[in-house]
């Protein structure tokens, strides 16, 4: 009974399990991580591990605290790397601890993935050069600075072993697809039934192409100052990436 | 800039804010809470507070740790009560600390809500007598024991000030609807755009009516032993509820 409260702990030492590392940092969007976590932690054979620069708890964007299980230094080799996004990604785009870990783990992982603006960290770590990729609709324009080929009309983009998801809630769609690749389609569909993922948003919208122009304008206005700051940081991170080569 | 990492803390003392209490317990399904949290923590005027029997961190169903910000004894009066579900709900259906808090806070709140099998705790606390309600598709049959009118074909059920959501991921649809009631529809749509909630599941399914019969059967088999145990606990909880009157 995978779901039972009487489960044995998932953190076994079995060598049969696929280690899937999810990165934590302050100011991240918690649903970028917790959405995929709900799917991947139910995927047979997958062992999810939450990783941070240290084991200190991080305050996510709107206050929820999340705690790494292991520091980067303690991380096992990863078959799957998952990088979430959020405004806090700005602070890690120039942080050597994050760049080094993501670049190293990503170069060895079987699947290198991101949700939302986690793609910017993959990019800054040099992992998206020449790859089709997506991110939150509001940040797609930054992908090219890292040598990626930006995709703005697909919710989940797969290019060889890179999988990048669009903003926040796209992480659930992404994780079901990833579960099907790590296991099989019927298992992914069983997880989808288990989390009753037959979505029915109460309102139309959720993407600039489906939301009303007034809603898109209001959201763009709300983000505009933060986007100017992000543009500056992305430029610096891209310079650094190109200097590292 | 609501989303900026440079935000002032959400936990202000402003009396203008709507206190929205979300309940934590061991063995809960973390996405039942983290999905709605992402929406409600972005809702203007809403102050989300995570509540537990104590401030001790809880281990959710698949391992992720979540930490209450306040204990029940420290809780402010709540305008909104949100109860998540999960297999761990079995353990709180007969726990006086949870029953007393939920029953008390629920009788005073403006909105009394649940995600997934959190509805069973609302029921055991006597809050669903005579109300139309839903829960995870696998547990709908238990609602009648608590005097509720079970609804199995609606993802979010509103009956007067009770709002109950179907399983796990339905919490996102529920929270957008709740945000529109606490604030207004354009604000809810702006949040929906902010979290890019324009879902596109990679596979059909997610409800017994949309999943293939093989997938439904496999999931029912997986849950069958746990469901027998749940049936027993629900019967005891319903007896207790009826004895309290």
SS3 call for B189: helix
SS3 call for B238: helix
Q: How far is CA A179 from CA A14, A99, A144, A189, A190, in A?
A: 19, 26, 28, 9, 11
Is the Cβ pair B173, A202 closer than 8 Å? Answer: yes
Cβ count near A117 (within 10 Å): 32
Which chain B residue has its CA at the smallest distance from A212's CA?
Answer: B189
Low-confidence ranges of chain B (pLDDT < 50): 1-15
**Which is it for the CA torsion A85, A88, A94, A98, positive or negative?**
negative
Determine contact: A64 vs chain B, CB below 8 A.
Answer: yes
Considering only CB atoms, B63 lies closest to which of A10, A61, A190, namely A10
Mean pLDDT across the stretch A43-47?
95
The pLDDT score that the predictor gives to residue B16 is: 61
Is the Cβ pair B205, A192 closer than 8 Å? Answer: yes
Determine contact: B212 vs chain A, CB below 8 A.
Answer: yes
Cβ count near B163 (within 10 Å): 23
The pLDDT score that the predictor gives to residue A16 is: 62
Q: How many residues does chain A have?
A: 245
Determine contact: A193 vs chain B, CB below 8 A.
Answer: yes
A vs B: CB pairs below 8 A: 260
The pLDDT score that the predictor gives to residue B66 is: 98
Average pLDDT, chain A: 93
Residue B152 C-alpha, separation from nearest chain A C-alpha, in angstroms: 12
Considering only CB atoms, A198 lies closest to which of B136, B180, B206, namely B206
Distance in angstroms (rounded) separating the CA atoms of residues B196 and B5: 19
Q: Are A133 and A150 in contact (CB under 8 A)?
A: yes
Choose, from B116, B120, B125, B182, the residue flagged as catalytic: B116
Q: Which of A21, A201, A226, A239 is nearest to A139 (CA)?
A: A226
pTM of the model: 0.94
Beta pairing class for B58-59 and B65-66: antiparallel
The pLDDT score that the predictor gives to residue A7 is: 38
Is the Cβ pair A63, B137 closer than 8 Å? Answer: no
pLDDT confidence band for A8 (50 / 70 / 90): very low
Q: Are B28 and B88 in contact (CB under 8 A)?
A: yes
The pLDDT score that the predictor gives to residue B244 is: 85
DSSP string, A100-145: HHHHHHHHH-SEEEE-TTHHHHHHHTT--TT-EE---GGGGGGGGG
Residue A32 has pLDDT above 70, yes or no: yes
Instruction: For residue A121, give both structure tokens.
Output: 């960290």
Q: Are A52 and A58 in contact (CB under 8 A)?
A: yes
Q: What share of chain A is helix, strand, coil (3-state, %, to 5)?
A: 40, 15, 40
User: Which residue shows structure tokens 């007598």?
Assistant: B129
Residue B159 burial (10 A CB sphere; 0-12, 13-18, 19+) = middle
∠ Cα A53 A59 A62 (to 5°):
140
Residue A160 C-alpha, separation from nearest chain B C-alpha, in angstroms: 18
Residue A22 has pLDDT above 60, yes or no: yes
Distance in angstroms (rounded) separating the CA atoms of residues B5 and B9: 10
Q: Residues of A with catalytic annotation? A: 116
Cβ neighbours of A86 in B, within 8 Å: 5
Q: How far is CA A87 from CA A32, A138, A230, in A?
A: 12, 11, 8
The pLDDT score that the predictor gives to residue A17 is: 86
Instruction: For residue A16, give both structure tokens.
Output: 């049969």
Q: Which of A117, A51, A17 is nearest to B196 (CA)?
A: A117
Q: Residues A90-148: pLDDT tens digits?
A: 999 999 999 999 999 999 999 999 999 999 999 999 999 999 999 999 999 999 999 99
The pLDDT score that the predictor gives to residue A244 is: 85
Beta pairing class for B65-66 and B111-114: unpaired
SS3 call for A42: coil
Instruction: For residue B196, give both structure tokens.
Output: 């890019």
CA A12 to the chain's CA centroid? 24
Determine contact: B104 vs chain A, CB below 8 A.
Answer: no
Determine contact: B169 vs chain A, CB below 8 A.
Answer: yes
Cβ neighbours of B211 in A, within 8 Å: 189, 192-193
Q: Residues A65-82: pLDDT tens digits?
A: 999 999 999 999 999 999
């Amino acid at each position: 009974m995978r779901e039972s409260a009487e489960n044995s702990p998932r953190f076994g030492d079995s060598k049969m399990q696929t280690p899937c590392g999810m990165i934590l940092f302050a100011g991240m969007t918690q649903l970028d991580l917790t959405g995929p976590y709900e799917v991947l932690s139910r995927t047979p054979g997958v062992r999810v591990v939450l990783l941070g620069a240290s084991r200190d708890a991080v305050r996510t964007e709107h206050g929820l605290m999340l705690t790494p299980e292991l520091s980067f230094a303690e991380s096992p080799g990863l078959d799957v790397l998952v990088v979430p996004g959020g405004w806090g990604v700005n602070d890690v785009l120039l942080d050597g601890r994050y760049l080094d870990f993501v670049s190293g783990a990503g170069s060895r992982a079987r699947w290198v993935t991101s949700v939302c603006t986690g793609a910017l960290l993959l990019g800054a770590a040099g992992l998206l050069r020449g790859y089709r990729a997506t991110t939150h609709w509001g940040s797609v324009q930054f992908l090219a600075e890292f040598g990626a080929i930006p995709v703005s009309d697909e919710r989940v983009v797969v290019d060889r072993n890179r999988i990048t998801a669009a903003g926040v809630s796209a992480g659930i769609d992404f994780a079901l697809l990833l579960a099907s690749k790590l296991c099989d389609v019927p298992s992914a569909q069983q997880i989808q039934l288990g989390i009753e993922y037959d979505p029915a948003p109460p309102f139309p919208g959720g993407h600039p192409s489906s939301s009303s122009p007034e809603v898109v304008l209001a959201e763009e206005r709300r983000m505009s100052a933060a986007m100017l700051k992000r543009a500056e940081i992305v430029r610096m991170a891209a310079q650094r990436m190109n200097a590292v080569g």
